[in-house]
Structure 1
Amino acid sequence: MSLINTEIKPFKAQAFKGGKFFEVSDADLKGKWSVVFFYPADFTFVCPTELEDLADNYAEFQKLGVEIYSVSTDTHFAHKAWHDSSEAIKKIQYTMVGDPTGLVTRNFGVMIEEVGLADRGTFVIDPDGKIQIVEINAGGIGRDASELLRKVKAAQYVAAHPNEVCPAKWKEGEKTLEPSLDLVGKI
């Protein structure tokens, strides 16, 4: 079953950001655009490259009013220890959510049950708490924050312009399409 246009399920979890621990819940993801970025584990190989890439692009997401939440089945304590010991992870200014029970990971359908770790799942959530983009990669395939940024801009554009759609490779400022009978078979 597709998660597109479904509302996020309720959750509460402990998180780490800016040297502090705090609780985060589904309510924190509503009222603004959010990216929930699942990864398998702290202190690994591909994961720090992805999280550093997000950290390097975080200001661009913030300019769009987008908050980022990275999530793994590690604890918020492990997130702090990783943050304190890794140059790549020290760059992170977004929220790192601990999900040791796997509730959040299961809510989004990305739990690898046999190992208790998350798939590389990316979810873009609109201000109403509905999932607009889902991307799941195999464990060895890292994601690209600039491509995610492009997709977020497209999702925001379509939300603001409900009679238009963004074609393949669309970038901000480029021409969109207005679906109509006149376009059928002419693209």
Structure 2
Amino acid sequence: MISIGNTVPDVTCEAYLPDGRIEAVSLAHYRGKWLVLFFWPLDFTFVCPTEIRAYSDLSHDFDVSGAVLLGASVDSAHAHRAWVRQGLGAVRFPMLGDVSRALAQGFGVLAESGVAVRATFIINPEGRVVSVAANDLNVGRSARETLRLLHALQSGELTACEWQPGEAFVAAA
């Protein structure tokens, strides 16, 4: 798995966009911006929609925080579109289709089963990974915690456990 401090691989994928279009999206396009990239195993599953809904519900908060939110699975952008239209409902961030598995392999999150593990990466404007979290396939993650981590990392300060934006920072001795 890609580690803290590693540079993000320059991978291009087709993406299903919130406006319904499908187009190529390159990770290099987001240099100079904070980026939150999260992987889910497969479309049309049980835990994945709970995470995607949670991230979509907070997409405005990520945007206001100056971060681009991207989601990805090994399904195609066309499968993402079908899932949105057949029950998932509107999603407010680009959904990357990684049928070649180049993105999942580049981030080191491809499981032996051929799907991506539940992994979340926060990437700074220089294109370096500053946070990595991964779960087994059966355990969902917290979009709110990802947003809290983004704010803490953007602050550049020492932040305590359970720190929330607006709270005091830890004073260095």
Give 1:7 shift: 0.7
Aligned residues: 172
For residues 2 and 115 of structure 2, what CA distance do their matches in structure 1 show? 21
CA RMSD across the alignment: 1.2
Task: Report what 1:161 is aligned to.
Answer: none
Residue matched to 1:19: 20
Using the size of structure 2 for normalisation, the TM-score is 0.95
Q: Which residue number corresponds to residue 94 of structure 1? A: 93
What runs of 5+ residues in structure 2 fail to find an aligned partner?
Answer: none
Superposed CA offset, 1:21-80 (max 9, x none): 111112122111111110000000000010001111111111111111110000111011
1:77 aligned partner: 78
Alignment correspondent of 2:133:
135
Higher RCO (Cα < 8 Å, 6 or more apart): 2
8 Å CA contact 1:153, 1:172 repeated in 2: yes
Contact 2:2 2:108 in 1 (8 A): no
Query: Percent of counterpart pairs with the same letter?
Result: 35
Alpha-carbon spacing, 1:21–1:170, altered in 2? closer, same or farther (3 Å) = same
Letter of the 1:82 counterpart: W
1:104 is matched with 103
- Flag as ranges the 4+ runs of structure 1 deviating above 2 A: none
Gaps of 5+ in 1: 159-163
**AA matched with 1:102:** R
TM-score (structure 1 length as normaliser): 0.88
Contact 2:36 2:123 in 1 (8 A): yes
